[in-house]
Amino acid sequence: MTLIRPDDIVESVRSALQYISIYHAPDYLERLVEAWHGEQSVPAKNAIGQILESARLAAIGRRPICQDTGMVTVFARLGQGARIGGDRPLDQLINEATRLAYLDAGNPLRASMVRDPLFERTNTRDNTPAVTHVELVAGETLELIVAAKGGGSENKARFTVLNPAASVEDWVVETVAGLGAGWCPPGVISIGVGGSAEKAMLLGKRAALDPIDMGRLLKEGPSSRIEEMRLDLYHRINGLGIGAQGLGGLATVVDVKVATYPTHAASKPVALIPQCAANRHAHLTLTGEGPVHLAPPPLSAFPEITTVAAGADAPRRVNLDTLTKEEVAGWKIGETLLLSGRLLTGRDAAHKRIAETLAKGEDLPVSLKGRAIYYVGPVDPVGDEVVGPAGPTTATRMDGFTDIMLDQGVLAMIGKAERGAATIDSIARHGASYLVAVGGAAVLVAKAVREARLLAWEDLGMEAIREFVVEDMPVTVAVDAAGASVHREGPARWRRPAPAPAEA
């Protein structure tokens, strides 16, 4: 019987969490580079380029690839010939590892977990608890898959039970078409089919963490019906034209996974799990011989890409301190802007509190008139950093508050992913604009922040209101003052039929 020491589990998981926060998985990166080379849509290519540029900066600086350092999810397979020493349950050991990894003094990660999902939603401040799944298997080792799943992609998980004769492919393609871009494409779509409702979800979740092998499949062709289905879905989803960040383009997925399990004759449960550009996971096997540490990938795995054009193609520069409606009216969707000046920050919890404060007839702690607001929850800074990685959060969640914000005089909002129809109308009515930064390019965005200070509501943790002073922060105009939306027009322009199976 193998004895696995509890401290070895804590150390292995701690170190894996730090590792995956910093380094993109090389197999994902490889496909992303291919997607970048093949992308013909300029805004989408630029977005992929920013993710790649940011990935390299994260690896060099040993800082998180995304400000959303995720919810820790661990799949454990304990061999029945192995025993974990001590009397602390495995989930407690994993929580301890999470606490240590997220509070690491050299590379603190963002605490995103809230206790009590229904009411208070108070941040636990150390990103615990993790979500742990344990399976007992034959063997004498402990296998751990350690993942950190971002909230934006987790929010887009979907489940259905189809009739046995219905097409899984059609449901998947239709569902992805309606998901929007909050899951930060280009990424992986993972499908779990069969079992019971919860089994299908777990199949999909687990398969999302398998190695990316679509490059091989495209080259060699399918050798099973599942592989045929994966290729079909890959082409049909990319044919939707969603593209990187939903800006319209050729690359929406770099891989599609399908996992199955026997099911009831009356059922066809189907889970759809999107995996974002921060495709973080590590696979460890503990054999009883001490903790496992992963060797960092060589820097050559991270290509050098420069994304912001110079000279005649240089983007328009915008001074946020003197922003006017007249200036905003001149911006057109798809255009890149370089923002400089003072920028407010605020996301879900701050918006809710702003609405509650105004509803009570009280003054806000900061005037919103003429301001731009960035939907962000940054990582805490270390060393000489002004702010830690600080990419955008999904703007769609702020739609319900947009009228209130615009009525208060906000002129521009910055986030990621699409806005709803009513919000777009409201933006146009107010002569404002919605801009997008690239989700997954968090280190690159943070480099543009020259100063950061807390303005209000510190108790909201990473969701507090801050003021950034930015210099040349790159953004793309997503909704302009005339009410045009890049997330509507981009995908419509790049949508195309999937190639027939023989051409694929």
Ligand X SMILES: O=C(O)C[C@H](O)C(=O)O
Q: Which residues contribute to the site for ligand X (CB under 6 A)?
A: 67-68, 150-152, 182, 377, 393-394, 439
At 122, list the tokens.
């108070």
Minimal distance in Å, beta carbon 375 to ligand X?
8
Minimal distance in Å, beta carbon 345 to ligand X?
11
Minimal distance in Å, beta carbon 475 to ligand X?
16
Which runs of consecutive H residues, i.e. helices, occur in 318-380?
325-329, 348-359
By beta carbon distance, the residue nearest ligand X is 152
Q: Which residue type sits at 362?
A: E
Nearer to ligand X, 175 or 245 (CB): 245
Nearer to ligand X, 66 or 481 (CB): 66
Nearer to ligand X, 376 or 412 (CB): 376
Q: Which residue type sits at 315?
A: P
Nearer to ligand X, 288 or 420 (CB): 420
Minimal distance in Å, beta carbon 77 to ligand X?
28
Closest to 61 measured CA to CA, from 361, 412, 458, 381 = 381
Closest to 285 measured CA to CA, from 82, 120, 119 = 82
Minimal distance in Å, beta carbon 66 to ligand X?
7
Nearer to ligand X, 43 or 150 (CB): 150
Report how far residue 209's alpha carbon sits from residue 442's, in angstroms, rounded to the nearest whole number: 22
The position carrying tokens 């003052």 is 481
Nearer to ligand X, 318 or 350 (CB): 350
Nearer to ligand X, 151 or 195 (CB): 151
Report how far residue 500's alpha carbon sits from residue 504's, in angstroms, rounded to the nearest whole number: 6
CA distances in angstroms from 264 to 164, 267, 285, 428, 482, listed in the order given: 9, 5, 34, 51, 52
Minimal distance in Å, beta carbon 390 to ligand X?
9
Q: Sheet holding 268-275: strands in order across? A: 158-162, 268-275, 187-195, 253-263
Minimal distance in Å, beta carbon 200 to ligand X?
23
Minimal distance in Å, beta carbon 245 to ligand X?
11
Nearer to ligand X, 318 or 443 (CB): 443
Minimal distance in Å, beta carbon 379 to ligand X?
9
Nearer to ligand X, 393 or 426 (CB): 393
**Is the link from the previous residue into 129 a cis peptide, with omega within 30 of 0?**
yes
Minimal distance in Å, beta carbon 415 to ligand X?
8
CA distances in angstroms from 59 to 194, 215, 376, listed in the order given: 39, 24, 22
CA distances in angstroms from 202 to 169, 318, 444, listed in the order given: 19, 46, 34
Label residue 383 exposed, middle or buried (CB < 10 Å: 0-12, 13-18, 19+): exposed
CA distances in angstroms from 469 to 19, 131, 351, 449, 450, listed in the order given: 30, 37, 21, 6, 5
Report how far residue 185's alpha carbon sits from residue 167's, in angstroms, rounded to the nearest whole number: 24
Which positions ≥6 away from 384 have C-beta within 8 Å?
A: none
Which positions ≥6 away from 429 have C-beta within 8 Å?
A: none
DSSP 370: T
Q: Which residue type sits at 29?
A: L
Minimal distance in Å, beta carbon 272 to ligand X?
17
Nearer to ligand X, 49 or 64 (CB): 64
Which runs of consecutive H residues, i.e. helices, occur in 240-329?
325-329
Nearer to ligand X, 46 or 396 (CB): 396
